[in-house]
Amino acid sequence: MKKSPYKIKEPMGDRVFLSVVYVILAIVVLAMLYPFVYVVSVSISDPAEVIAGKVAFFPKGFDLGAFKTMINHPIFFTAYKNTIVYTALGTFFTLFFTAITAYPLSKDKFQMRSFLSKVYLITMFFGGGMIPTYLAYKSLGILDTIWVMVLPGALSAWNIILMRSFFRNIPESLSESAYIDGATDPQILVKIILPL
């Protein structure tokens, strides 16, 4: 590729501005990365050096005793199992409930579309509060169960708005042609809309 003989010279003000922006961004990146580096350094350092406060950035000594203690703890694998189960179930229920909620809201023929959209929008700005939320969970009988971790976050107004907007951008002619072929709304959602 041939290099252009003409070079646009940046004004001095632009170069100074970009330099200041790069310095600020570098400081922000270092401030965000330092806690992670510190945790890794502490986890592989000699415990005596950590207690003495000698570990700041680089590890002092080398000891994997913290990892051995962590892995040998009786609830270590239970905690990982719970993490995997909560993530899998949470993802499934979030996608399922968001899709079946956003699909009707994306259709102009759905008469309660405007009202329900406003109701979901209100929940983005106003929460029930911690105590009423706890009492609701208690009355539903989901305290101390897996469902208290999965179900409350399964339906998010923000996710509904995002998915509804995506569904509205899909050409209506796809749904109409499926209606002509005898497809129902659930079939259209599962076989046409979601694969897109």
Non-local (6+) Cβ contacts of 100 within 8 A are 189
Question: 10 Å Cβ neighbour count for 63?
Answer: 17
Provide the angle, in degrees to the nearest 10, between the axes of the packed helices 65-72 and 76-105.
70
d(CA 181, CA 172): 14
d(CA 15, CA 138): 60
d(CA 95, CA 105): 15
What is the rounded average pLDDT of the residues 120-145? 91
**Which pLDDT value is given to residue 12?**
85
Q: How confident is the model at residue 1 (pLDDT cuts 50, 70, 90)?
A: low
CATH superfamily of 76-193: MetI-like (1.10.3720.10)
The rounded mean pLDDT for the chain is: 89
Q: How confident is the model at residue 4 (pLDDT cuts 50, 70, 90)?
A: low
